[in-house]
Chain A
């Protein structure tokens, strides 16, 4: 496990979430934990983020830094790490949202620090092609 995998694993453990996926804006997985069908999740996260950002810009509401979806059985949360990286978290219905947000913010900060210290070329993007 690399540092990014560890951060995602801790996030999932601490929030009792189902899965976490770190993706780039092209929908390629950088890191993931418990992600079944990882490639599909990665493009869905990037697509949702793109659509949200476009919609927000069209409404003159600026860019987005967080995306929150309440489903019948839980939550889907997307949070910007930087302009090209998004963290997706799939959380359970009974999660404590305040606590989850706190862990999510802390994880984003840790990931951002790692990415800032690494050349993007060094990232192990799991290409789906």
Chain B
């Protein structure tokens, strides 16, 4: 039995669990392509703000090695460029899934990633409201939310799956055993935090 997780298959599985209404439509992709120049004009501001924000917080700053900001800024710029090209095929989505594996390696946790995507989205929405006709700004907001939440879903789910896969590979515990172990413990964890449960 092949013990490897096929990235394309995993990507398709993750996307399949997202309702169609939350995913990009051909019309959304046209909106993104129409606003390609607008988004690209914000790339410098986004990248600068992104790393200023990360380096302003001790926990997010700790993710970086000394002197690597320039390399990371280029990576984010490349992501923006490739993203606004609007070629949302399986290879693009699988690339986002792969980022989830890299985040495990680099200890970039999902809360950090989701918070920073919110920051990027805020810059785009604010500038869209200021610079674009109202209808275009609304359409761009809808398309960008679908795009960014799909990216977040792929990275977050891949982070979880590959984290568990690493545990499984090292310990020899198969996925079903890990799932059963979690089920045995999860009720205890709920009980310890029961005051937060809605009545």
Q: Residues on A close to B: CB < 8 A?
A: 25-28, 39-40, 42-43, 46-47, 50-51, 53-55, 57, 128-129
Contact = CB atoms under 8 A, between A and B. Distances in A.
Given A43-B184, A128-B183, A51 B172 contact: yes
Contact of A54 (B171, B180, B181, B184): B171
Which of B170, B181, B185: most chain A CB closer than 10 A? B181
B176 interface: yes
Interface in B157-196: 170-174, 176-177, 180-181, 183-185
A43 B171 contact: no
Nearest to B188: A40
A27 B180 CA distance: 7
Contact of A53 (B172, B180, B184, B185): B172
A128 B184 contact: yes
Contact of A43 (B170, B172, B180): B180
Contact of B174 (A26, A28, A39, A42): A26
Contact of A47 (B170, B181, B183): B181
Given A43-B184, A51-B172, A128-B180, 18 more contacts: A25-B177, A26-B177, A26-B180, A27-B180, A40-B185, A42-B180, A46-B180, A47-B173, A47-B181, A50-B171, A51-B173, A54-B170, A54-B171, A55-B172, A57-B172, A128-B184, A129-B180, A129-B183
Nearest to A43: B181
Contacts of A51: 171-173
Contacts of A26: 174, 176-177, 180
B171 to A, nearest CB: 5
A57 B171 CA distance: 11
30 contacts: A25-B174, A25-B177, A26-B174, A26-B176, A26-B177, A26-B180, A27-B176, A27-B181, A27-B184, A28-B180, A39-B184, A42-B180, A43-B177, A46-B173, A46-B177, A47-B173, A47-B177, A47-B181, A50-B172, A50-B173, A50-B177, A51-B172, A51-B173, A53-B172, A55-B172, A128-B180, A128-B183, A128-B184, A129-B180, A129-B183
A27 B179 CA distance: 9
Contacts of A129: 180, 183
A42 B185 CA distance: 12
B187 to A, nearest CB: 10
B3 to A, nearest CB: 12
